[in-house]
Amino acid sequence: AQKVTQAQTEISVVEKEDVTLDCVYETRDTTYYLFWYKQPPSGELVFLIRRNSFDEQNEISGRYSWNFQKSTSSFNFTITASQVVDSAVYFCALSPPNTGNQFYFGTGTSLTVIP
Amino acid sequence: DVKVTQSSRYLVKRTGEKVFLECVQDMDHENMFWYRQDPGLGLRLIYFSYDVKMKEKGDIPEGYSVSREKKERFSLILESASTNQTSMYLCASRGRTYQPQHFGDGTRLSIL
């Protein structure tokens, strides 16, 4: 079974705080890709990052960083020094092979950054 | 940049009407998808297509059909709209395996 769990439904932080969004996935495949998307209030989903199952290096892009740990099947996303513009719904997704190119999305985490 | 265009941002229709949602992508992607998004349920896949005239059911295909006559266009059809189909509908396209899906702006559909 393929499944992505984002246990945090809603998170509120004060501006400049750091925040981590959790993502736990289930798959029996050894090859797969993981993704994070951002959905601002305007509605469109914006692609943030892709990580393949063979690359466990953490990645940093500006204030964003991602921690991929295969041993715990987690792919967590940290925003450092949060800003009001980070307020959005964030989705984690799993893309295994041989599933017709389907993505399996988590239910999303709604992040509110309070000024 | 990939551009996925959905024909309407907001749409209001009546129960029983046949509703067409159109999606066009400009990157020659083989794969296209339709999702609906509801609060607390995340994105649920309705149908996807991996080639012209080819389609596969997703998780919630009941009450919907799709059409892909040209590679760049993927249409979602509500055969007889019902109030429980009021939702946000998102179209996406994807090229080769393991590339990200690229999304349109979404259509907020209200069925009265």
Cα–chain center distance at A90: 6
The one-letter code for the residue type at A81 is: A
Whole-number pLDDT of residue B107: 96
Alpha helices in chain A, H assignment, sequence order? none
List all residues of chain A from 21 to 60 with a beta carbon under 8 Å from chain B. Answer: 33, 35, 37, 42-47, 50, 52
Sequential pLDDT tens for chain A (115 residues): 889 999 999 999 999 999 999 999 999 988 899 999 999 998 889 999 999 888 888 888 899 999 999 999 999 999 999 999 999 999 999 998 765 678 899 999 999 999 9
What's the mean per-residue pLDDT of chain B? 93
pLDDT digits (tens, 9 = 90+) for B30-76: 999 999 999 888 899 999 998 898 999 999 999 999 999 999 999 99
Distance CA A20, CA B77 (A): 39
- The residue type at A42: S
- Whole-number pLDDT of residue A23: 98
Closest to A25 (Cα-Cα) out of A9, A3, A8: A3
Q: What is the pLDDT of residue A99?
A: 58
Burial class from Cβ neighbours inside 10 Å (0-12, 13-18, 19+) for residue A64 reads: middle
Q: Are A101 and B88 an interchain contact pair (Cβ–Cβ within 8 Å)?
A: no
CB contact under 8 A, B48 and A100: yes
Which residue type is seen at A94?
L
Question: What pLDDT score does A102 carry?
Answer: 80
Which residue is associated with the tokens 């607390």? Answer: B40
CA A109 to chain centre: 9
Instruction: Give the per-residue pLDDT at B40.
Output: 84
pLDDT of residue A98: 64
Nearest chain A residue (CA) to B58: A102
pLDDT tens digits along A21-43: 999 999 998 889 999 999 999 88
Q: Which one-letter DSSP state was computed for residue A100?
A: T
